[in-house]
Amino acid sequence: MKKILRQTWRTIRYNIGSLLIFEAGYRVTTFFLVMQLVRFLVDFSLKQQGFSYLTAENYKEFLQYPLSILFLVLVFFVILIFYFIEVASLLCGFVYSAQNKKLYAGDFLILGIKKTFSFFRHSKASWFVCAACSGPFLAIYFLVREISYIQILEFTARQIYKEIKSPVLIYGFLSILLVLSFLFVFALPYCILEKKKSRQGFLSGMKLFRTRWKRILLEFCLLHFYMLLFILVTYVLVMAVLTAGVFFFKPESMKISSIFIYSEYVNMALGIYAGGVQLIGSIAFVYTIYTKFHVQTEEEPPFYKKLEQYSWYSKLGRRKAAGILTALVVLLEGVYFAFLVINHDTTLSHLAADTEITAHRGGAWKAPENTISALQYTIDSGADYAEIDVQETKDGKLILLHDDSFKRTAGVKKNVWDMTLKQVEKLDAGASFHKKFRGEKIPEFTEVLKFCKGRLDLNIEIKYNGKNKGIVNKVVRAIKENHFEEHCVVTSMNYQFLKQIKKIAPEIRTGYIMTMTYGNIQEMEDADFFSVKHTYVNEQFVTQVHALGKEVHVWTVNYKGDAKRMLDLGADNIITDDPIMVRKVQNQESGSNTGYVELLKYAFRF
């Protein structure tokens, strides 16, 4: 049963040292180049469109802009070329390993580039089909990890998920795509080593797969189980060593934040590493099956032969020259990662002991969200603010509601703009939360202002649904009539709302709610602070905002490790469902000494 896997391992093992050096150097370099290219093109496109910042409001417009589409295609082509060179390098390297010929890291790269451009000349556009069809499956480990790490990818994935109403369609499409991509992987040896067109290669690959498809499929699944286990073990060991280093060499005040800083880079590297493991194992497996039916010959690698003409190389010899080249590559990678860590490591010189705490949705942890009971809990918990959501009913009245529909909170499948205030007053906002809150009403905005006056400050988020263009004036009027200007801030994801507020009531502090931090915030003069999802906040963003004399509010922080991290970064306000927990972390009531096991929990986010 495991004969193919044993042969696969022998194929990998023969040149494993050079193979790992090549993979590490190539993946880190190409990842860095692609990231820099994407950043440059996004910034350029934003500038051409007159946008200073990429937000939820302008994201669709940004993507639909012709220049953005052109840049997206360009990046896609660059990624495919890098991917194709890598696959070609591995296949050529495995050819030599099967013939018991030693290779160095440079040999892999030169062979891959030579084979790639030879295939380009012979097959023209066929390379694109070959790379695009096989890529999704062979890059799945990498994509799953990096989508959660790279802001734009993560935000794009969430937007796509929101746009497609049925999750079944998404999962069905992805499943079909991965199955087809998996089958196309078997075409790679035919396309790259034999220069067959993509269609011919696919047919040959399918014929190869059908020879013993049950056994191949079973062992391929077993291979991926071993690879996942190997990746998991490596990750655990790295985090354990990292945690030990922080535990022994960092001062107490910096331990938790250091764990979060360093683990971010470990998680970024994990995607690169996992993708490399998957690609090496999968290509070696397919090549092993391919060799059972084909015998390939290959000329000696030309790279070092060309160097023999130089006197310095003759004196060093191939082995020493390769050793120096390898050491140089490793050194450059080490310097690069060290630079990243040092450049982004927080000095913790600005611990925010005066950071304010806001209860999310009026205090939704212990009571139904956006209700009087929730606000009473916020007062009892000692939070500085309560964040509430304001919407407009059919008859133009202001109420507290987060969603456009009453379905989730009151069990009625109707939108807020389709119901009058009298109809809303009959709804039960508490029964779905807990039976003791049965009969809890959805409050009017003015009722909330009167209840909180002198007792609690408010973060008033004005929701935008496309049907409430006059809501800003009504909110400001209610605030002024109740003399609440000094005891509230007004926020929104719609920047135009903030402009309206500053025009009619400049004394009211405003905050722009952002789902990610990308672009230039200097031109957002109508926002006194920025309310950002905590996973997108780093020391660079906090420093940038504070340099403008503005504040950073972060949402929604419900884990004590995240709370500690935000406090250390200097966040001015933490929005949370659990204000008592954040206050304890702020006052260091959890204890002054952090043990190794507790640090491990932070590292793995338990």
Exposed e or buried b for every residue in 65-89, given b needs 16+ CB within 10 A? beebeebeeeeeeebbbbbbbbbbb
Question: What CA–CA distances, in Å, run from 32 to 247, 333, 526, 537?
Answer: 30, 11, 35, 21
| Active site annotation includes 553 | no
Which of 402, 483, 534, 553 does the annotation list as catalytic?
402
Q: Which of 512, 570, 559 is nearest to 537 (CA)?
A: 570
Identify the sign of the CA torsion 25, 26, 31, 34: positive
Exposed e or buried b for every residue in 116-146, given b needs 16+ CB within 10 A? beebeeebeebbbbbbbbbbbbbbbbbbebb
Q: Is 427 helix (H, G, I), strand (E, B) or coil?
A: coil
Strands 529-533 and 509-514: parallel
With contact defined as beta carbons under 8 Å apart, do 479 and 505 qualify?
A: yes
Q: How far apart are CA 358 and CA 582, in angstroms?
A: 10
- What is the Rg, in whole angstroms, of the alpha carbon atoms belonging to the chain? 29
CA neighbours closer than 13 Å in the CB half-sphere of residue 54? 23
Q: How far apart are CA 582 and CA 555, in angstroms?
A: 12
Residue with tokens 């004196």: 315
Q: How many CB atoms lie within 10 A of CB 552?
A: 27
With contact defined as beta carbons under 8 Å apart, do 136 and 177 qualify?
A: yes
With contact defined as beta carbons under 8 Å apart, do 252 and 228 qualify?
A: no
| Active site annotation includes 487 | no
Exposed e or buried b for every residue in 192-215, given b needs 16+ CB within 10 A? bbebbbbebbbebbeebbeeeeee
Which of 350, 360, 487, 534 does the annotation list as catalytic?
360
Supply the residues annotated as catalytic: 360, 402
